[in-house]
């Protein structure tokens, strides 16, 4: 009779140990799945942050390019205006030289 009780107790202990092992395995699998999900969420958040930063940098570069193009246009206009003014001054100088030459010839 004692042997039967010991055998029953051993079977019950084995059943409890098996149940504990299954519970521990399930908990471990759940922890691994949770860690993977967290890693995926963190990776997705990092990607979103990277895309946002890249967009911001692109906007800043576009604004800078716009300002540079505007300055380039203004510089080209200033150069054209300078060239026109230099041409006018040269014409006035030539006219003065011609006038002085005529005056000298008449005197």
Helices (H), the chain: 2-106
Mean pLDDT value across residues 56-69: 95
Q: Of 11-20, 22-31, 38-47, give the range with the top mean pLDDT.
A: 38-47
Output helix, strand, coil percentages for the chain, rounded to the nearest 5: 100, 0, 0
**pLDDT grade for 8, boundaries at 50, 70 and 90:** confident
């Amino acid at each position: 009779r004692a042997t039967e009780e010991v055998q029953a107790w051993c079977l019950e202990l084995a059943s409890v140990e098996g149940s504990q092992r299954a519970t521990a395995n399930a908990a471990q699998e759940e922890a691994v799945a949770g860690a993977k999900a967290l890693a995926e969420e963190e990776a997705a958040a990092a990607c979103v942050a990277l895309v946002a930063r890249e967009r911001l940098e692109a906007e800043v570069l576009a604004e800078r390019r716009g300002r540079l193009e505007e300055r380039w246009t203004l510089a080209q206009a200033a150069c054209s205006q300078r060239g026109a003014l230099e041409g006018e001054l040269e014409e006035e100088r030539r006219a003065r030289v011609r006038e002085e030459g005529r005056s000298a010839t008449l005197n």
